[in-house]
């Protein structure tokens, strides 16, 4: 394993691990704020109980999320120093804004929320958790601005003297069309995750209490946990619709901005002049080649429709794009090695499907929980409780596979070329890694 | 890389145990409104904590 593989593995592990905590923090903060708002408005104790309960889970998750995220900053300098040098002028501003939103605004108001229950008046204290929720989402916006720039660089020129990308317009970087599709998709997926967690935990408690048949327990199940289930389901339905819509917009942008990623999502190895199908079930090996995939069930024209709103729109295949990129960007790197411009097809193909598949569990839980608690009912169904427990993990898996697809699909680029005119601003992942050998800490 | 993975493994255990503990604990049975406006308005009768 060379230094590039080690650096990629380390960053991938750190990022996927960090992102277990991020969606729950982004989504649960506003849900806790909604619960506290319901308490302030209705003065019903049930909402205060739920605020304290889910607020505690939010704080645990927030703390671990911060710890796991800090490591990433160090990796930029240690293992990705060439990349950091290249993107530093562009990333500096959004990352500083992210740090201000996350570490100053968010943490300050979270502290005031934790310690201010008996010191601030109700409405001011409520404002604290809303400020936490808003700043959490704001920090997500700025970090996604940096990531979206790597997918689709804008507002930048390449300085050949310094060998760096230099920002010409922060407005263009923050107005990047990729960002305005990625941000709603990430935030709605986070709300779906948090809604699923709230529904799953509240469902488990509701069923557990209802099965004791004791009057006190039944009352608690009805008055405390059933409203939490209904709120969780509402969040899941609204967020689920948002995830589907924003994901569809992202798909169309991906077709225009990163056609290789689109072709890789379907492992499209044959030309499709009359439209490309979307395969639901395939078999194949995990090699990065076109011979490994055999499609068993496909929806004709569906990939073309997702990409360009036409069932017959031609989609360029991986070999066609490889030939195009070789002509445009060269067929060998600086060391004379041939460049494979296609990502790992097995990884992109399956991660795209696993993202959608795991998210479907949340839909199943939302439908079952909504039906089981209709017209004031309290459910004692063990099947509902079990589905809740299984569904606890699935939105996290969906989020992780979504990001694995997004990042792996951009390879071999760490900064993908923008096909609409910023071709100079691009960087191969292999050129972004630090110039050190494994086990050493100084340049070769 | 091994040490790094161990540290993250420990963090995962800490996170799981805390989440599990407080989920099993459930919502509190009794809650009180601790906000300043909900407290009784008899501050005038309380002894001063600090006096100069």
pLDDT tens, chain A, 444 aa long: 788 888 888 889 889 989 999 999 999 999 999 999 999 999 999 999 999 999 999 999 998 888 888 888 788 888 888 888 888 888 888 888 888 877 788 889 999 999 988 888 999 999 999 999 999 999 899 999 999 999 999 988 888 888 888 988 999 999 999 999 999 999 999 999 999 999 999 999 999 999 988 888 899 889 999 999 999 999 999 999 999 999 999 989 998 888 898 888 888 888 888 888 888 777 766 566 666 667 778 888 888 888 888 888 888 888 888 898 888 888 887 778 888 888 988 888 889 889 998 988 888 888 988 998 998 888 888 999 998 999 899 999 999 999 999 999 998 898 888 887 666 888 888 888 887 665 655 544
The HSE-up count of residue A436 (CA atoms within 13 Å, CB side) is 15
B35–A57 C-beta distance less than 8 A: no
CA-nearest residue to A197 within chain B is: B23
Task: Quickly count: other Cβ atoms within 10 Å of residue A310's Cβ.
Answer: 11
Answer whether residue A304 is part of any domain: no
- A123 and B CB contact within 8 Å: no
Q: Is B49 on the interface with A (CB under 8 A)?
A: no
Cβ–Cβ contact A337 with B under 8 A: no
pLDDT at A40: 94
pLDDT at B51 over 70: no
A398 burial via Cβ count (<10 Å: 0-12, 13-18, 19+): buried
Does the pLDDT of residue B3 top 90, yes or no?
Answer: no
Are residues A205 and B26, on separate chains, in Cβ contact within 8 Å? yes
- Contact map slice: B 2-41 vs A, CB within 8 A: 4-5, 8, 11-12, 14-15, 18-19, 22-23, 26-29, 31, 33-38
pLDDT the model gives residue A207: 93
- CB contact under 8 Å between B36 and A45, yes or no, is no
Residues in B closer than 8 angstroms to A121, CB to CB, are 35-37
In a domain, A306, yes or no: no
DSSP state for residue B4 in the 8-state scheme: H
Q: Which residue of A has its CA nearest to B27?
A: A53
Judge whether A383 is closer than 8 Å to chain B, CB to CB.
no
Instruction: Give the count of Cβ contacts less than 8 A between chain A and B.
Output: 64
Q: Report pLDDT for A134.
A: 93
Contact: A13, B8; criterion CB under 8 Å: yes
Whether residue A273 is contained in a domain is answered as: no
Nearest to A124 by CA among A29, A32, A40, A35: A40
Burial class (CB in 10 A: 0-12, 13-18, 19+), A201: buried
Q: In angstroms, what separates the C-alpha of B3 from chain A's closest C-alpha?
A: 12
Chain B hits for A45, CB-CB cut-off 8 Å, are 31
Residue A290 lies inside a defined structural domain of this protein:
no
Task: Report residue B20's pLDDT band, with 50, 70 and 90 as the boundaries.
Answer: very high
Task: Give residue A237's pLDDT.
Answer: 94
Instruction: Say if residues A203 and A385 touch (Cβ distance below 8 Å).
Output: yes
Residue A239 has what pLDDT?
95
Question: What is the predicted pLDDT for the residue at A245?
Answer: 94
Using CA coordinates, name the residue in chain A closest to B34. A118
CB contact under 8 A, A52 and B27: yes
List chain A residues with CB under 8 Å of B8.
13-14, 17, 68
The label of the residue with tokens 């796991």 reads A68
Per-residue confidence (pLDDT) for residue A315, from 0 to 100: 86
What pTM, to 2 d.p., does this model score?
0.90
- A118 in contact with chain B, both atoms CB, cutoff 8 A: yes
- Alpha-carbon distance of B25 to A252, in angstroms, equals 46
Backbone angles phi, psi at A372, to 5 degrees: -70, -20
Residue A104 class from Cβ within 10 Å (0-12 exposed, 13-18 middle, 19+ buried)?
exposed
- Residue A412: cis peptide before it, omega within 30 degrees of 0: yes
Question: What pLDDT is attached to residue A444?
Answer: 46
Position B42 scores a pLDDT of 57
Whether A21 has its CB under 8 Å from any CB of chain B: the answer is yes
Contact A118 B34 (CB under 8 A): yes
Give how many domains chain A has, as a whole number: 1
Query: A324: domain range?
Result: 3-268+316-431
Tell me whether residue A87 is in a domain: yes
Domain membership flag for residue A48: yes
Contact B37, A121 (CB under 8 A): yes
In a domain, A151, yes or no: yes
Q: Taking CB atoms and an 8 Å limit, are A64 and B14 in contact across chains?
A: yes
Distance CA A98, CA A101 (A): 5
- Residue A442: inside a domain, yes or no? no
Measured in residues, chain A has a length of 444
User: B15 and A125 in contact by Cβ < 8 A?
Assistant: no
Question: Are A68 and B28 within 8 A, CB to CB?
Answer: no
């Amino acid at each position: 394993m060379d230094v590039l593989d080690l650096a990629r593995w380390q960053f991938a592990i750190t990022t996927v691990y960090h992102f277990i905590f991020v969606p729950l923090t982004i989504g649960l903060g506003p849900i806790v704020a909604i619960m506290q708002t319901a308490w302030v408005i209705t003065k019903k104790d049930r909402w205060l109980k739920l605020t304290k309960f889910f607020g505690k889970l939010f704080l645990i998750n927030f703390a671990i999320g911060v710890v796991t995220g800090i490591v990433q900053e160090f990796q930029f300098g240690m293992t990705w120093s060439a990349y950091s040098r290249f993107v530093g002028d562009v990333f500096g501003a959004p990352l500083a804004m992210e740090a201000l939103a996350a570490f100053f605004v968010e943490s300050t108001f979270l502290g005031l929320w934790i310690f201010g229950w008996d010191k601030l008046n109700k409405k001011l204290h409520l404002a604290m958790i809303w400020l936490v929720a808003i700043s959490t989402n704001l920090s997500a916006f700025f970090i996604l601005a940096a990531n979206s720039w790597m997918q689709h660089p804008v507002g930048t020129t390449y300085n050949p003297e310094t060998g760096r990308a230099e920002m010409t317009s922060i407005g263009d970087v923050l107005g990047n069309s990729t960002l305005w599709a990625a941000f709603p998709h990430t935030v709605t997926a986070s709300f779906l995750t948090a809604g699923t967690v709230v529904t799953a935990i509240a469902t488990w408690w509701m069923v557990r209490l209802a099965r004791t048949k004791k009057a006190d327990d039944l009352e608690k199940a009805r008055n405390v946990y059933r409203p939490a289930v209904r709120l969780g389901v509402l969040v899941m339905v609204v967020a689920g619709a948002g995830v589907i819509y924003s994901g569809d917009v992202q798909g169309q942008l991906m077709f225009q901005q990163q056609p290789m990623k689109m072709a890789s999502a379907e492992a499209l190895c044959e030309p499709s002049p009359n439209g490309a199908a979307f395969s639901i079930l395939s078999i194949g090996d995990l090699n990065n080649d076109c011979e490994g995939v055999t499609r068993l069930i496909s929806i004709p024209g569906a990939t073309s429709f997702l990409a360009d709103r036409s069932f017959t729109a031609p989609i360029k295949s991986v070999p066609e794009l490889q030939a195009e990129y070789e002509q445009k960007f060269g067929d060998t790197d600086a060391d004379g090695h041939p460049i494979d411009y296609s990502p790992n097809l097995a990884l992109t193909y399956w991660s795209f499907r696993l993202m959608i598949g795991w998210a479907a569990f949340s839909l199943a839980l939302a439908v079952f929980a909504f039906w089981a608690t209709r017209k004031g009912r309290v459910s004692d169904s063990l099947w509902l409780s079990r589905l809740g427990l299984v569904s606890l993990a699935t939105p996290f898996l969906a989020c992780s596979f979504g990001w694995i697809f997004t990042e792996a699909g951009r390879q071999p680029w760490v900064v993908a070329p923008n096909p609409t005119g910023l071709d100079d601003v691009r960087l191969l992942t292999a050129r972004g890694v630090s110039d050190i050998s494994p086990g050493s800490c100084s340049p070769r | 890389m091994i040490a790094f993975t161990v540290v993250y493994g420990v963090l995962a255990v800490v996170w799981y145990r805390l989440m599990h503990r407080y989920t099993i604990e459930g919502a509190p049975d009794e809650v009180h409104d601790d906000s300043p406006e909900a407290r009784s308005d008899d501050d005038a009768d309380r002894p001063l904590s600090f006096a100069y």
